[in-house]
Amino acid sequence: MRKTFLIVIFILLIKGTSYSQSVSNMQMLGNVNEFTAGGTPTGWHYSACWGYAAGGREYAIIGHYAGTTVYDITNPGNIVNSGTVAGPGSFYNYREMKTYSHYLYIVSEGGSGVQIVDLQYLPDSLHLIQNYTFAGYTKSHTISQEGRYLYSNGGNYNNGGVFILDLLDPENPVKRGQWGTRYIHDCFVRNDTIYGAAISSGFMVFLDATNKDNITLIREFTYPSAVTHNAWTNGDRTVLVTTDEGGTNHAKLWDISDFSNQVQLAEIIPYDGASMVHNAYIKGDSLYLAHYRAGVIVYNIQNPSQPVEVGHYDTYPGPNSTAYQGCWNVYPFLPSGNIVASDIVTGLYVLKVGTKTSISSGSTESADNYTLSQNYPNPFNPLTSITYHLPRQEFVKITVTDELGRQIATLVNEVQQKGSYSAEFKADGLSSGVYFYTISAGKFVSTKKMVLTK
């Protein structure tokens, strides 16, 4: 069954108190909060999210107390429910998922092993293939994927360690190697190296999975107040991010270019100074954090020793603290650049950063020049992009004004590193006419005209 959800603006009231949610340089494109009737503890409804793209369409996947739902978010202002796969419940409604080919793989601490779902019939329907289990295994805390292999973490098999499932036949996995010296809460896998978060023992574990039948320990390390919840690396595996769900409650960036000796580069304290981090992902030179009660936070980590916040969107309407609530997960890998996020209370979000947080590696701009390009498309309705180039780090401000000089919007207002960027302007609610956009970056000031045609 497919349901259509229209986006409305609303005020959340909790116990008679109104809480404002902090937003900086990000915009919400859509939100769905359909599953609110259940969950454990009371008021906890949702868990992890992920994304999927096929056939020119984009989908958001979210776990909740009743199962897993796939939404068509190709048009984020008109989100469509493409179907739900029922699943077992658990305390905190744990449910995690990954995709491979046109299949979705779901795990839960409630049982059912790995639920295998065929996505090839989207956007019309989902087909549950089977609940995969084997002797001694019925549940996992998380699941990871690289190539045709799944990596199960934190389950009721192998001391809660990690084991590999081979997806040569995606509908009929085959168990391969395992490693269970430590409980692995979550892991990231790149180039046959497992970066395992051993949360209960406070270790970051590096494992060699080149031989899929024999996972071996490379090395491990710990650090003060370590409660290592998850980890991710940049593309060349020189920078590692870890998150501490407890201890300092912060994300940390590490230089692992010398794989035998990690060096801490930065400890990231969120804008609110109070909330606890949950999950982290790196895409290009951008770091995306699901930061519980502070929502989604995006950083530019071109210089990983000095991460710079690009923007944030608080999905949780209550007060900030280190308590569990708010944004569970974030998925920044959709082709459109849109970001999927899940909030324990308020559901699924589709978000967008106001500026591109990845520096363009293919820029043709001179490295010595500031530039402000003509917006595209022009004329436009209602969305247009404004690209610009910085030859060095500057504080950048981009504003939009009307013909009378009245300021309509501020698109950028932050320090940015050297590189090429794109800011989007959405003219919803504005009348047709001529508008102007102005960039101020150090001593560089430039203004251009654009035309809105409705």
100 burial (CB, 10 Å; 0-12 / 13-18 / 19+) is middle
Give the per-residue pLDDT at 368. 57
- Position 66, amino acid: A
Q: What percent of the chain has pLDDT over 90?
A: 72
Give the per-residue pLDDT at 251. 97
Give the per-residue pLDDT at 321. 85
The full set of domains in the chain, from first to last, is 21-353 (2.130.10.10), 371-452 (2.60.40.1930)
On the question of pLDDT at 21 being above 60, the answer is yes
Predicted model pTM = 0.76
- pLDDT averaged over every residue in the chain: 89
Confidence of residue 374 (pLDDT cuts 50, 70, 90): confident
For β-strands 251-255 and 239-244, DSSP reports them as antiparallel
Give the C-alpha separation, 324 to 216, whole Å: 34
Number of helices (H), then strands (E), belonging to the chain: the values are 0, 39
On the question of pLDDT at 14 being above 60, the answer is no
SS (H, E, C) 231-263: EEECCCCCEEEEEECCCCCCEEEEECCCCCCCE
Other CB atoms closer than 10 Å to residue 110's CB: what's the count? 16
Give the per-residue pLDDT at 444. 87
Give the C-alpha separation, 448 to 411, whole Å: 14
Confidence of residue 309 (pLDDT cuts 50, 70, 90): very high
On the question of pLDDT at 147 being above 50, the answer is yes
Q: What Rg value do the Cα atoms of the chain yield, rounded?
A: 22
Place of tokens 């270019």: 257
Instruction: Please answer whether residues 104 and 130 qualify as being in contact, where contact means their C-beta atoms are separated by less than 8 angstroms.
Output: no
On the question of pLDDT at 431 being above 50, the answer is yes
Listed range (68-72, 269-273, 300-304, 370-374) with the worst mean pLDDT: 370-374
Give the per-residue pLDDT at 209. 98
Q: What percent of the chain has pLDDT over 70?
A: 93
Which residues on neighbouring strands pair with residue 396, listed in sequence order?
414, 441
DSSP letter for each residue of 308-338: EEEEEE----S--SSSS-SEEEEE---TT--
Count how many Cα atoms sit within 13 Å of the Cα of residue 277 in the half-sphere of its side chain: 30
On the question of pLDDT at 133 being above 50, the answer is yes
Residue (of 232, 178, 179) closest to 204 by Cα position: 232
Structure confidence by residue, pLDDT tens digits, 38-82: 999 998 999 999 999 999 999 999 999 999 999 999 999 899 999
Structure confidence by residue, pLDDT tens digits, 157-197: 999 999 999 999 999 999 999 999 999 999 999 999 999 99
Confidence of residue 236 (pLDDT cuts 50, 70, 90): very high
On the question of pLDDT at 365 being above 50, the answer is no
362 DSSP assignment = T
Other CB atoms closer than 10 Å to residue 56's CB: what's the count? 7
Listed range (11-25, 56-70, 272-286, 320-334) with the worst mean pLDDT: 11-25
Give the C-alpha separation, 73 to 4, whole Å: 11
Give the per-residue pLDDT at 307. 93
CA–CA distance from 253 to each of 87, 144, 203, 424 (Å)? 35, 21, 15, 29
Structure confidence by residue, pLDDT tens digits, 195-225: 999 999 999 999 999 999 999 999 999 999 9
Give SS3 for 302. Answer: coil
Residues 6+ apart with CB under 8 A from 254: 239, 240, 241, 242, 262, 263, 264, 265
CA dihedral 291, 297, 298, 301 (to 10 degrees): -60
Give the C-alpha separation, 234 to 197, whole Å: 16
Please state the separation of Cα 289 from the chain's center in Å.
7
Tokens of 95: 């449910």
277 DSSP assignment = P
Give the per-residue pLDDT at 205. 98
On the question of pLDDT at 358 being above 60, the answer is no
Give the C-alpha separation, 25 to 238, whole Å: 28
Side by side, the strands of the sheet bearing 419-426 are 371-372, 383-390, 419-426
CA–CA distance from 99 to each of 59, 106, 115, 118 (Å)? 11, 9, 11, 10
Give the C-alpha separation, 24 to 413, whole Å: 9
